[in-house]
Structure 1
Amino acid sequence: MVGMNPHRTWKEIIAADPEHSRRYANRWRGFVRQGRDINGEARLVDAMAPRHARILDAGCGQGRVGAYLAAAGHKVVGVDVDPYLIEEAGRLYSGELYDATTWLVGDLADLSEVLAEAGQSEPFDFIVCPGNVLTFVADEDRQAVLEGFAAALSQDGGRALIGFGAGRGWDFSDFEDVAIAAGLRVVQKFSTWDLSPFADESQFLVAVLERD
């Protein structure tokens, strides 16, 4: 979920413009046709996660990250609030290669309930939340989303990888404070998905978190 007004939630955006989701999906298809690299986040997750890990793609959109990870042998559950994008994920990524992949419509603020209703209550080895997803969450739901991540992570070495840009309504230091309140701690910070060091002036945060 990139390139949109950071001060509106994704639900507000698609309610105001029902065709937005289709344009968003088409934009990513255009990136692929242009030969742009759209798999940087997924490659990093694949490098960090154990083999055949159970991975939650939080805010999965049309499945670009989760599908890459499924093809690499991981068991993926993708959750997104946008029904059209989940439909696209199921259409694009079906067949034997993606048999271990599940795509769910649901609000990340209600993650525990969404997973329980789908019979997906087993803990995750890894959670990835890329693409500025968290900046499209309502302010009042931020802690609930991170609490859901903490509850979903395995207590045995589970980690989350979250990335979003500056100037999108959520200060990086405030994010860390909310994460702590939610039962998570930031153990590493980078400024890009290819692990450039994070500095005070960095315009993007890629944070590795563990359960507190």
Structure 2
Amino acid sequence: MSRWTDLTGNASGEDYAARFAALARSGKDVHGEARFCAALVPVGARVLDAGCGTGRVMIRLAELGYDCVGVDLDASMLAVARQQAPELPWFQADLTEFEPRALGVAADFDLVVAAGNVLPLLASGTEAAVVGRLAAALRPGGLLVAGFGLDAAHLPVPPSITSAEYDEYCAAAGLTFIDRFATWDADPYDGGGYAVSVHRR
């Protein structure tokens, strides 16, 4: 069972969406992830939102002109995503077993994004397998972007993966390290408790 399921019981979709809606109403920028991704690949590029949740990132990328696919295991989160953007392709799938072609989707994404602490919220011991699955969904030259907490202050669960371990999983999956940032606003990484990492296939 994933740490996310332990934490939420896969029933937090409405609450999660309401929290970000409140942030948006307060004037807070909630589109940093989409803006970061849009700076990496041209409009029209194919993007996989892995662990898409309620669809906040993917819906924004679709609005900006990207060809998006969303995948998540949590039905409550996907229900919100489908309600907000029924015209977009949302799939319920376990990232540890993710196979795009089994869903009728081509495995040639220009960019795969895993935002929202996807990696630390996986089931323990599945991190390398998931990175391998995501890497396999990329076209040659495609990018994997993952942002997640590295310490207790940036996570709702105990820390479980370091940036060095993540880099090892990426290397084993045939990915090359490109850069790492401290935020989705591309602030320089200074060794802090949150990192946004970019790797290329």
Work out whether the TM-score is over 0.5.
yes
- Secondary structure class of the residue paired with 2:109: coil
Q: Show the counterpart of 1:209.
A: 199
Aligned-pair identity in percent equals 35
Q: Show the counterpart of 1:49.
A: 41
Equivalenced residues, count: 193
Matched ranges for 1:33-182 at <5 A: 33-94=25-86, 99=87, 101-112=88-99, 115-155=100-140, 157-167=141-151, 168-182=159-173
Q: Distance in 2 between matches of 1:106 and 1:12?
A: 17
**Residues 123 and 153, structure 1, Cα contact 8 Å, conserved in 2:** yes
**Residues 150 and 194, structure 2, Cα contact 8 Å, conserved in 1:** yes
One-letter amino acid of the counterpart of residue 103, structure 1: W
**Residues 58 and 127, structure 1, Cα contact 8 Å, conserved in 2:** yes
1:67-109 Cα distance to aligned partner (Å, 9 max, x none): 0110111110000111111111111113xxxx4x311111111
- Secondary structure class of the residue paired with 1:48: coil
Structure 1: any 5+ residue segments left out of the alignment?
Answer: 1-7
One-letter amino acid of the counterpart of residue 165, structure 2: D
TM-score by length of 2: 0.90
Superposed displacement of residue 174, structure 1: 1.4
1:120-164 Cα distance to aligned partner (Å, 9 max, x none): 034101111111111101121111110011110001x21111111
Q: Show the counterpart of 1:4.
A: none
Q: Distance in 1 between matches of 2:57 and 2:178?
A: 22
**Residues 13 and 20, structure 1, Cα contact 8 Å, conserved in 2:** no
Q: Distance in 1 between matches of 2:180 and 2:161?
A: 16
Computed over aligned residues only, the root mean square deviation of the Cα atoms, in angstroms, reads 1.5
**Residues 11 and 81, structure 1, Cα contact 8 Å, conserved in 2:** no
Superposed displacement of residue 208, structure 1: 0.6
Structure 2: any 5+ residue segments left out of the alignment?
Answer: 152-158
Residue of 12, 24, 31 corresponding to 2:6:
12
Q: Distance in 1 between matches of 2:24 and 2:85?
A: 15
**Residues 14 and 21, structure 1, Cα contact 8 Å, conserved in 2:** no
Q: Distance in 2 between matches of 1:9 and 1:184?
A: 25
Q: Show the counterpart of 1:198.
A: 189
Q: Distance in 2 between matches of 1:122 and 1:107?
A: 16
Q: 1:159 to 1:82 in 2, by over 3 A?
A: same
Q: Distance in 2 between matches of 1:66 and 1:49?
A: 14
One-letter amino acid of the counterpart of residue 139, structure 1: S
Q: Show the counterpart of 1:3.
A: none
TM-score by length of 1: 0.85
One-letter amino acid of the counterpart of residue 14, structure 1: T
Q: Distance in 2 between matches of 1:118 and 1:61?
A: 18
- Secondary structure class of the residue paired with 1:73: coil
One-letter amino acid of the counterpart of residue 158, structure 1: G
Q: Distance in 1 between matches of 2:117 and 2:147?
A: 6
**Residues 48 and 112, structure 2, Cα contact 8 Å, conserved in 1:** yes
Superposed displacement of residue 199, structure 1: 2.2
